[in-house]
A and B are shown apart, each in its own frame.
Chain A
């Protein structure tokens, strides 16, 4: 795929005239997806896709277009047509005061190959390991590609093989265990072992569910659920533009009016993730950016455009100024002691369908989901009937945060809208003195 990217980029650059500048972004994947239900195959498929974004600049006027690339001869003609079209439109566009792009000729090449299963191996592993289980989910695997080129000579290439098996095993109704296994080295025996581990949890779900009244409860929130909470910060949280326009959901934290618990240190850790270390306009990203340190605001994600608009330094954030490799530092509570430390309360397996219920107060609502239990004296008593929570991040990660556990789970984002996500996170679980349940 790299050869295709380089050939297309070189051809496109060769079409420039006079003072024109061209930035080229490439995004592609060769993915296999196996969708399964009741441990049987529902929709198995392969997807081969490649997109090329041409960003034509002349002075401070610029325009861009994204093309699906076929890998065939038609791509070159499509590029020619696209550049002609962009060129024709440039004159009608106003000058852009916030345009900023890299003029460096930097080059990089990152290829992280792995061992991925064949179609037959994948289907056989899943159907055999899941035999007898009401297992539902998806396996996604294959290489993901990102590239950047510019007419200044920049050439960046990022290629990573990965797989993500994301599944749940149902006992009955909505009572299920959720799990995920992601990585670069597929191991069928390990897949079988992990599926067997979900089977082992089913006896807990067979117990009569416990229904509790709305109110405030002690809670141990799993890493997967904390991960869901933290990704909310990508939706009006850590973006410098949102903060400058008073739309950040953590505006009070940014303005220093409130603080989170001293235990909370959050960073964008590009070096530890799967996302490329370059942005859409050719700037490289720092290995790590601290966003919250010791419970206080420490930094923001700043795209080149925002940097130009507000006269601040860019840190290579993408246009949406969202995290792609978030990392919440672990704490000191041994994971193995979490239920004992909880004593009596709710053990949250996952959160579901989060949304801001009060953006100004960083208040989030959502539901408990999957293996969420009522715990007494450190022992699981019963699965919990689905409960809605509605609580502020300032409480959950602030005044009510008793401890973070001592392990940080590595989670590959299961998002596949448009293409497979390369977003990752590393997060611990959290023990809360109170979690407000409302319905």
Chain B
């Protein structure tokens, strides 16, 4: 039975004891369904119904949290008491110089789903089976899988100050990958990103507009093409990154370094710190004047759109980097209050989020986008004498300050004298965030733009893997260190 938002909010307020500076409840319910077909055989499905609540209590400068799957009165009372105990124990020993103050927003949000996804098990399997069967084109195709992952999520926040938000989301993720092998060489080609990169809010319309239908054969053909392709050359090349690699480049070398909790040091034991410091906002040139980056929770189809973050703050679209200049970090209300004790004029964005009911909110990048420029893809290709086009991320690694990175892609293609030339396999490149974005020399227009994302952005202690969205045009970078595989 789905939770009754009005009833549970009322019960929480009635049950909360006196003497707390703040108490809030966040209830999350998710129905998830992952259907997979591998080599034309239906794999066991992964379905789940997850439901639970997190109580947050503030006493003085102490915050405490308690999560429970028991939404009865007794369960809510016990969780509130436990959160209050933590808050009292933390008071006077917390990182907060002053008592945190959380907002009391009211409102609703729902995914702009045009066609609610109501496919039966048989329909889901039929959809996937068609693409799976289309992959079987050559004996060198040794493995393949098509999948459809759908989630419906409802989230209520309610606090003692009268704030209450209810947000309902539909997430749809089609995916397919193919493995080709011959004579000791294996190549993987994915449709929609190797790790569920084509992920959006919405229903059936996501599948319809994605290009998933019909992707089986073409992906298998590309896998074979990679199998017969030469190794990516090594050297310094101009690099043309397509959106399904740009999303990773944005994520790792803009998104994570701008997270306020990293800058404040909370993540140093796990995800890492940042080369960005508070004094750089408003003064630091992050990239070339062509670089415009927005935090945009308002793009309806994008994966991490919402109206309120999990601290209850209203979310609005903001520029984080404009004309190459660094303006704002990524951080929720509590992090902003902490940062303001160091630098009073820091303005961030409302994006403290949790991955589920059993984790507290932390600073997440949510939807982080590079805004389109003015170049067509053809113009960008014609501008390059000796370069490489890369698409579809396959490997990613970056240091704990988010500076020295090395990324690999599934697909590479030489650009010679302004024309696309031979396909190359195992393309990789490496660089340093602080200088890489300054080599941005062309930004694609909206015709090159794609809305991607990932369900697996990981950070936090305890760990949280959360949904984020990244939209980007194709982009050109000058003089990048490129290399291939050993054989």
Contact = CB atoms under 8 A, between A and B. Distances in A.
B94 A42 contact: yes
B313 to A, nearest CB: 18
Given A42-B94, A72-B70, A247-B143, A417 B458 contact: yes
Contacts of B273: 173-174
A415 interface: yes
A314 interface: no
Interface in A58-108: 62-72, 74, 77-78, 82, 89, 92-94, 96-98
Interface in A155-177: 166-168, 170, 173-174, 176
Interface stretch (B120-128, B148-156, B288-296, B301-309): B120-128
A163 B272 CA distance: 23
A44 B408 contact: no
A369 B122 CA distance: 49
A392 to B, nearest CB: 7
Contact of A72 (B72, B125, B464): B72
B284 interface: no
Contacts of A176: 268
B184 A123 contact: no
B360 A43 contact: yes
A230 interface: no
A359 interface: yes
Given A63-B45, A65-B49, A367-B400, A439 B269 contact: no
B64 A137 contact: no
A272 interface: no
Given A46-B86, A48-B70, A246-B186, A40 B93 contact: yes
Contacts of A420: 462
B400 A68 contact: no
A94 B464 contact: no
B399 A386 contact: yes
A284 interface: no
B99 interface: no
Contacts of A414: 270
Interface residues of B, number: 82
A83 B275 CA distance: 52
A178 interface: yes
Given A72-B72, A246-B142, A357-B406, A92 B120 contact: yes
B265 interface: yes
A109 B464 CA distance: 31
Interface stretch (B13-21, B208-216, B390-398): B390-398
Given A42-B266, A365-B397, A366-B397, A252 B458 contact: no
Contacts of B70: 48, 70-72
Contacts of A50: 69
Contact of B66 (A45, A68, A168): A45
B89 A119 contact: yes
Nearest to B71: A70
Contacts of B108: none
B125 A355 contact: no
Interface string A230-263: 0000000000000001110001100001000000
Interface stretch (A31-39, A288-296, A327-335): A31-39
A97 B41 contact: yes
Contacts of B83: 45-46
Contact of B64 (A44, A49, A174): A44
B312 interface: no
B45 A68 contact: no
B48 A98 contact: no
A392 B52 contact: no
A360 B399 contact: no
Contacts of A415: 463
Contact of B86 (A45, A82, A245, A369): A45
A98 B487 CA distance: 35
B86 A137 contact: no
A37 B464 CA distance: 18
Looking at A42, A92, A417, the one whose CB has the most chain B CB atoms below 10 A away is A42
A438 interface: yes
A351 to B, nearest CB: 10
A139 to B, nearest CB: 9
A96 B41 contact: yes
Contacts of B461: 33, 35, 137-138, 166, 416
A417 B458 CA distance: 8
Given A42-B94, A47-B67, A251-B186, A136 B265 contact: yes
Interface of A: 31, 33, 35-38, 40-51, 55, 62-72, 74, 77-78, 82, 89, 92-94, 96-98, 119-120, 123, 127, 134, 136-138, 140, 166-168, 170, 173-174, 176, 178, 245-247, 251-252, 257, 305, 352-361, 363, 365-367, 369, 386, 388, 390, 392, 414-418, 420, 438-439
Closest 10 CB pairs of A and B: A45-B65, A138-B461, A416-B462, A245-B143, A137-B269, A246-B181, A66-B48, A41-B90, A92-B122, A44-B86
6 contacts: A43-B362, A46-B67, A92-B121, A246-B143, A247-B186, A352-B272
Interface of B: 1, 41-42, 44-52, 62-72, 75, 79, 82-83, 85-86, 89-90, 93-95, 120-122, 125, 142-143, 179, 181, 184-186, 188, 264-266, 268-270, 272-273, 358-360, 362, 395-401, 403-404, 406, 408, 426, 428, 430, 432, 458, 461-465, 485-487
